[in-house]
Amino acid sequence: MDICKLSATEMAACLRSHELSATEIAKASLERIQKVEGTVDAFLTVTEDEALAAAAKVDAQIAAGEQLAPLAGIPVGIKDNICTKGVRTTCASRMLENFVPPYDATVIEKLKAQGAVLTGKTNMDEFAMGSSCENSYFKPTRNPWDITRVPGGSSGGSAAAVAACEVPLSLGSDTGGSVRCPASFCGVVGLKPTYGAVSRYGLVAFASSLDQIGPFGRTVDDVSLLFDAISGEDKTHDATSKAGNFAARIREVKGLRIGLPKEYFGEGISEEVRAAVLKAVEEYRAMGAEIIEVSLPSTPYALSAYYIIASAEASSNLGRYDGVKYGFCGDRGGSLTDMYETTRSEGFGDEVQRRIMLGTYVLSSGYYDAYYKRAKLLQQNIAKEFEEAFTKCDFMITPVNPTTAFKLGENVNDPVAMYMADVCTINVNIAGLPGLSIPCGLGKGNLPIGLQMIGPKWSEGVLLGAAKCYETAVGGFAVKEM
């Protein structure tokens, strides 16, 4: 039995049947990480001692005949912008290279309460700003399907770790597509939940009104398992979180109305991506779903609105990194202003500085009304268009990325081309909706293609159920052999 090729639900079943121990599973995951990390580079920190200690506790529970929580003994990778008590949390930035949080994020508390085995912190674009996982201060992560290509970003390490079978589950964060885009590029399943469905306490902020923690897995059932564990209201720490009414997972799609937004299938979407997504749509039609065309007219303007809003919030959130309180300090003598300048110019990478400057500009006197205010008005229009479209359909299907994974270095010096990778995903964050990426085929070079399912707020149950129906119909999703 190749333990690392098992899904999380299969691992859980083996634990309960005593075919495997939690320690055996943890050791297999850690050995796999050691074997492939020189190729994939998905992890920044591996917590071997902590993982084995957590696994031993689960084995003790099994020996005592105690009932196990759903995630007990299951290895999980954690994106390195989610705080972990006593474990370095860097946001892949020089600014936080040696930062060790004194507390756990709410999602980490929930995972530990279930007995999940946390294997380490995964690589990412610095402060979650990027679409390729090349903006990490430490190293780029490589796509397990083709190591000359990017895994997507910003949660590229989390997606690559699951695709490379280092862990069956991982957590990422999604501000404009940062779970769904790498899930698509790496051929795994990724969920961006409804805004407020998962507590953001302990998630290092990029753009607070758009950020959302989300799960990765190789199967829909695995993602459902992790989502159930981390979702729910956090009355103590996150006032934006809610106890969502997540409907039971549907078992068939017959009679459901699936909307195809015409703006998502036009210019800019590669033919192989369009064809793969539309082929999946025909699978749904064959299962009895009704396919209808819908329109979201503001879609062409959403990318501009997103980068104005996200950069404005980033400019505010990242103001705390001044070299005084914690993190990197670029003190070379001189005035306080000199220290601030040195700290921020040396502590932040180019992409982070670019977005801070843009955000500061659009919030400055004389430009606030011209840019930020107009972007926020467009945000309201986008949300209203989705609401209107959902009166005609139960959920929508679109591409996730315009293309398959691009080459490492291909877009690194072209910010606009890099930003376009998120063109199909940002509207979901702007409107606060749930979005799910599932594999729907392979393109040229055997590279994965993903389709995106978008639903109304709190419709994760419908999306996951419909995705499970597709997964079953096509016989499951391919796993990359490494």
> Which residue(s) pair with 290 in the sheet?
257
Q: Which of 7, 29, 93, 154 is catalytic?
A: 154
178 is catalytic: yes
Q: Which of 29, 79, 121, 480 is catalytic?
A: 79
Q: Which of 131, 132, 170, 178 is catalytic?
A: 178
SS (H, E, C) the chain: CCHHHCCHHHHHHHHHCCCCCHHHHHHHHHHHHHHHHHHHCCEEEECHHHHHHHHHHHHHHHHCCCCCCCCCCCEEEEECCECECCECCCCCCHHHCCCCCCCCCHHHHHHHHHCCEEEEEECCCHHHCCCCCCCCCCCCCCECCECCECCCCCCHHHHHHHHCCCCCEEEEECCCCCCHHHHHHHCCEEEECCCCCECCCCECCCCCCCCCEEEEECCHHHHHHHHHHHECCECCCECCCCCCCCCCCCCCCCCCEEEEEHHHCCCCCCHHHHHHHHHHHHHHHHCCCEEEEECCCCHHHHHHHHHHHHHHHHHHHHHHCCCCCCCCCCCCCCCHHHHHHHHHHHHCCHHHHHHHHHHHHHHCCCCHHHHHHHHHHHHHHHHHHHHHHCCCCCEEEEECCCCCCCECCCCCCCHHHHHHHHCCCHHHHHHCCCEEEEEEEECHHHCEEEEEEECCCCCHHHHHHHHHHHHHHCCCCCCCCC
Q: In a 10 Å sphere around its CB, with 0-12 CB exposed, 13-18 middle and 19+ buried, how is residue 466 labelled?
A: buried
262 is catalytic: no
Contact 367/361 with Cβ under 8 angstroms?
Answer: yes
Cβ count within 10 A of residue 266: 11
Q: In a 10 Å sphere around its CB, with 0-12 CB exposed, 13-18 middle and 19+ buried, how is residue 478 labelled?
A: middle
Amino acid symbol at 387? E
Contact 136/117 with Cβ under 8 angstroms?
Answer: no
Contact 160/144 with Cβ under 8 angstroms?
Answer: yes
Q: Which two tokens stand for residue 160?
A: 């690559």
Cβ count within 10 A of residue 100: 14
C-alpha 211/C-alpha 466 separation (Å) is 25
242 is catalytic: no
Active-site annotation, residues: 79, 154, 178
